[in-house]
Amino acid sequence: MDAKIASALAKEHHSDKFYYKGITLTPGGFLELAGVYRQHFEGTDVGSNLLIPFPNVRQSHVSEGRFSARQSRISLLAEGSVNANTRLSAYGEIDFLGAAQTANSVESNSYNPRVRNLYVTIDWDRGDHGWHFLAGQSWSLATMNAKGITPRNESLPPQIDAQFIPGFVWTRQPGVRLAADFLDHTLWAAISVENPQTSFGRKTPPTVVATASGGAWFNAANRLSLNHVPDVIGKLAYEADLAGHGVHVETFGMMRSFDAHLLTGSNASAHGYGIGGGVEAQLLPGLLDARLTGLHGTGVGRYGTSGLPDVTFSPDGKIHPITETAVLAGLTLHATKGLDLYGFAGEERQDRQPYEQIGLGNIGADNNGCFTAGGICAGDTHQVRQITGGFWDKIYQGSFGQAEVGMQYSYTQRQLFAGAGGAPWASQNMGFVSFRYYPF
């Protein structure tokens, strides 16, 4: 009996929730020490730059290795029930991957926190259906969910690399979302309006103003695009059980608007559209999971992991959204209760849109020096693809939290559009290791 009482007291003492004025508070997050090795120097932290350098960049002839604690994460969830059918929640999550102008790795390694998620939700339960409202910064509605359309239930690839895998569709940005579920929570629908920004190809006509320096409350070293219409995204999701195999299917569409100002005094604008979705299935329940996701559209580059541009320009200053396709597929094997093995492959590809010397993928771009140190390598990126694999092993799970170790290897390729000198490829081998402790 004494042992049972001691065990109950220990469990209560290590509860993952506490209470304040009727509100339930749930802390979360983890502490991480990660290590990364790259075959070619990128000068970045645990989040990789997937537009990998060609050998004409001299530092790419040197490999890169570093430790980092900056992906460590802190979160807090506050929840309260107004009545039997209405629940209010607030959620905040930060990591330390921000890099202000004063941040450096010389001596104190001082890096600043950054907002990952910060939002409030209202959930109305009506028995076999419900309504859900979200306002704040969160994962985009375009991000794949694991179940339904609910926050903190996004389906993220399990890699260590903080920049994810090419083909993974996502942003984290401010917005407002309204969702509803029907048919005993198996059919979901949602619409969101989200913060706009535009990524441009590297050639902008001198007669076009497409970005401006950040003003008050922004870092003046950063540039902001001239958007004034939010991105609009709609999504449908369905949950099914096929002979004991759980299946989640979803599809979404998005509409975007792009703006610029011409020195002639007029404005230029264009619209982009995209359609995407995915499926997650328990191929062998409790043992093997699979996922396949994709996105195709014009002006959707910002929603892909590789950071390819949304739009380009013609010499007359007109905006031309770029056609892009992103695909990601992966398997996760739950080998034991504590060991997960995974393998993923993804690709993002854009179509050529040449407009004399301005547009994307100009046929006359000089690629002759891409493999010569200090040479000219002027082509635009055509596609980025990656294969990656790794594991997570829970080395401890109990009343004092959870500890995990993980390793990841990835091989990435970047190809330029064909120009003078062909369509060259650059490749990058990367390895990651992580130790994480989840105290809550």
Which mean pLDDT values do the consecutive 10-residue runs of the chain (440 residues) have?
Answer: 43 67 94 98 95 94 96 97 94 93 78 95 93 98 95 96 97 98 95 96 86 88 92 97 95 97 93 98 97 98 96 93 98 97 98 87 93 95 98 95 97 96 96 97
Residue 203 in tokens: 């050639």
Q: Count other Cβ atoms within 10 Å, centred on residue 391.
A: 16
Query: What is the per-residue pLDDT for 128?
Result: 87
Token pair recorded at residue 438: 């989840």
* Alpha-helix residue ranges (DSSP H) falling in 326-388: none
CA-to-CA distance for 28 and 438, rounded, in angstroms? 8
Rounded Cα–Cα distance for residues 69 and 85 (Å): 41
**Which H or E element spans position 310?**
none
Which residues pair with residue 231 across a beta bridge?
Answer: 194
Q: What is the pLDDT at residue 123?
A: 97
CA distance linking residue 116 with residue 94, whole number of Å? 5
pLDDT of residue 439: 95
CA atoms within 13 Å, Cβ hemisphere of 424: 22
Distance CA 65, CA 39 (A): 9
Q: How far apart are CA 58 and CA 28, in angstroms?
A: 42
| Res 15: pLDDT | 62
pLDDT of residue 12: 43
φ, ψ of residue 376 to 5 degrees: the values are -85, 130
pLDDT computed for residue 106 by the predictor: 78
